[in-house]
Structure 1
Amino acid sequence: MAIQWYPGHMHKARKQIEEVMPQVDLVIEVLDARIPYSSENPMVGSLRGDTPCIKLLNKADLADPDITQLWLEHLDAQQGVKAMAITTSDMSQVNKIPELCRKLSPHRDQPDKAIRTMIMGIPNVGKSTLINALAGRIIAKTGNEPAVTKRQQRISLKNGIVLSDTPGILWPKVENEHSGYRLAVTGAIRDTAMEYEDVAMYAVEYMMQAYPQRLAERYDITDMPSQPIEMLEEIGRRRGALRGGGRIDLHKASEVLLHEIRGGKLGLVTLETPDMIAEEEVLVEQQREEKRIKDELRAEQYKKKRRR
């Protein structure tokens, strides 16, 4: 199943960002530390061009710290990028962000020149919560569902930094189907735009490979099932997700699993590594090339038919 979610307000937000980007000194992109690649909007790179960028791996308190370190090193190697792992509830981490902004914008570090920053990120990565933490007051509306922010706003901080907040935007087509699933697992896509059981099957299969002990401990399982569907059924059985006749309610079991992953109930979990992404990008490029060839053949066949 291909998971896509790109409502109209996201297209409008993209056009607005494109218009104001020339006046921006620095971009702050908020990522989900559990899925740094999948939560990284490829449009941000094309929109910001050479503008320096701070990539904040938010929700680091929910992510596997060893893998987070790998991602920090991977992102720091990119041109014009500085990466930092944070948790918005830890103000000692949040307070380091303005200092980093000044380091990356030395040409604006003067009393009479505010550093013009644009804060960007896909839905539900904690962008609004971060803005409120930086401002020290409630400015941006927050929520537990994606796409709460619908319009841009400018926020002047007391430390010589002006933030332009933008709505959380995805991109029109998520080519890597793994990224689509990971976005759904972490809650970046509206639940109404996905199939719970399909996404839960993806999540449980990954957990069985990467964190089997977490599943065993959380759901008190001593004899681990060998198949994802069996594991999901066992979770449903352990959580009382039953229908008449003792049948497992897979939808309810799926809700339990996804909500507990999102809430950190299965421990510190990261759903992707830099090595995994390198392999997946090769496959995506192969699929893109195959599609290009098919499209060319289809176009040529259409031309031949018209000439007859």
Structure 2
Amino acid sequence: MSDQNAKINWYPGHMAKTKRLLQDHIKRIDLIIEICDARLPYSSRNPELSSMISRKRHLLFLNKSDLADANMNNLWIQYFRRQGTEAHLTNAAKMNGKETLGLIDKATKEIVDKALEKGVRKTVRAMITGIPNVGKSTLINRLYGRSVTQIGDRPGVTKSNQWVKVSPYLELLDTPGLLWPRLDNQLSARRLCYIGSIKDDVVDTAELTIHLLEDLCSVIPDAVAERFHIEDTGLKGVELLDAVCTGRGWLLKGGRMDYDRCCSVVLDEFRGGKLGRITLEKPAEFETEEDKIND
């Protein structure tokens, strides 16, 4: 295992190209639909996006909301609306496409009506954007009614921009996931690794799993104890990893701990919602003093 404080950074060359393409397309876009992960509503948003879309209509969808704590979902929606962002909860894998299309229609009604006044039936062009692995392509497939874009549970599945005509008057642009060049906030970077937005092969998965287990023990200790058959959720570091290996029987010949299997299963079970509905960030962590006064 490597140093727990080793910096996490991942900005493949294709992301610089993706950013340039986004900036070029934004000029011709009527609506930005930003997707983030409801388990990490703050960390799973690209901070560079706001400057790129400052003059565009903007919807924020907190996707995978079925995997996040229900009460925290509501608190995050309130937080974003206080920031002036129209935010909605979604579960792209199971959602009702008609309801989401209604939100798009409402957000673009003004520009459509202006075009109608000139005798033009405008085709709305919306861009779906977000960091890797938050469900952008899944959302488009749901809106379209069948699979038209490739999806997967790993980052980097969507490789290029792809236009999808959802209806005669609505076109959606699916874009590759875009991270930002410097992940200065290492806590946010680690959390992005938890949800699979940064590829596992660029981090030490044992250290990542230890951090995840420690975080889960602080948020849902009873669920961790039950799922992994451990008694002391106050353990730290390798001792916690060893307890999970022992509890689940992940042992190699000679009684050695099977860390590879442990890390793989723990990460997969968290990402798949097997430990219940979990939100790892609270709005209070990111509210300014001014926000608190105005609330």
Match of 1:37 in 2: 42
Residue deviations 1:206-261, cap 9 Å, x none? 11111101101112334444324322211111223223431223333222211111
CA contact (8 A) 1:233 1:253 kept: no
| Equivalent-residue separation in structure 2 for 1:220 and 1:191 (angstroms) | 25
| Equivalent-residue separation in structure 2 for 1:203 and 1:223 (angstroms) | 16
| Equivalent-residue separation in structure 2 for 1:161 and 1:45 (angstroms) | 23
Aligned to 2:222, what secondary structure does the other structure show?
Answer: helix
After TM superposition, which residue ranges in structure 1, 4 or more long, deviate above 6 angstroms? none
Say if 2:67 is the partner of 1:91: no
Match of 1:56 in 2: 61
Match of 1:74 in 2: 79
Residue deviations 1:90-135, cap 9 Å, x none? 333x322221122222233346112221110111111111111001
Q: Structure 2, unaligned stretches of length 5 or more?
A: 1-5, 289-295
Match of 2:279 in 1: 270
| Equivalent-residue separation in structure 2 for 1:98 and 1:3 (angstroms) | 37
Say which of 184, 190, 200 aligns to 1:181. 190
Match of 2:176 in 1: 167
Match of 1:246 in 2: 255
Match of 2:23 in 1: 18
CA contact (8 A) 1:236 1:250 kept: yes
Residues 103 and 215 of structure 1, relative CA distance in 2, 3 Å threshold: same
Match of 1:210 in 2: 219
| Equivalent-residue separation in structure 2 for 1:205 and 1:49 (angstroms) | 38
The CA RMSD over aligned residues, in Å, is: 1.7
More divergent stretch after superposition (107-116 vs 211-220): 107-116
One-letter identity of the residue aligned with 2:148: I
Aligned to 1:23, what secondary structure does the other structure show?
Answer: coil
| Equivalent-residue separation in structure 2 for 1:176 and 1:125 (angstroms) | 19
More divergent stretch after superposition (115-124 vs 222-231): 222-231
Residue deviations 1:36-58, cap 9 Å, x none? 11110112111111212111111
Residue deviations 1:240-291, cap 9 Å, x none? 3223431223333222211111111111111111122349xxxxxxxxxxxx
Larger Rg: 1
CA contact (8 A) 2:217 2:233 kept: no
Deviation (angstroms), 1:145: 1.2
CA contact (8 A) 2:65 2:73 kept: yes
Match of 2:7 in 1: 2
More divergent stretch after superposition (157-166 vs 115-124): 157-166
Match of 2:292 in 1: none
Larger % of helix: which?
A: 1
Match of 1:156 in 2: 165
TM-score, structure 1 as length reference = 0.85
CA contact (8 A) 1:125 1:188 kept: yes
CA contact (8 A) 2:210 2:240 kept: no
CA contact (8 A) 1:216 1:224 kept: yes
One-letter identity of the residue aligned with 2:90: I
Say which of 121, 131, 146 aligns to 1:137. 146
Residues 141 and 103 of structure 1, relative CA distance in 2, 3 Å threshold: same
| Equivalent-residue separation in structure 2 for 1:235 and 1:277 (angstroms) | 32
Match of 1:109 in 2: 112
Residues 16 and 271 of structure 1, relative CA distance in 2, 3 Å threshold: same
Q: Structure 1, unaligned stretches of length 5 or more?
A: 280-308
TM-score, structure 2 as length reference = 0.88
| Equivalent-residue separation in structure 1 for 2:198 and 2:253 (angstroms) | 31
Aligned to 1:157, what secondary structure does the other structure show?
Answer: strand
Say if 2:32 is the partner of 1:27: yes
How many aligned residue pairs are there? 277
Residue deviations 1:121-176, cap 9 Å, x none? 11111111111100112111111211111111211221622111111111111111
CA contact (8 A) 1:204 1:228 kept: no
More divergent stretch after superposition (248-257 vs 218-227): 218-227
| Equivalent-residue separation in structure 1 for 2:190 and 2:197 (angstroms) | 10
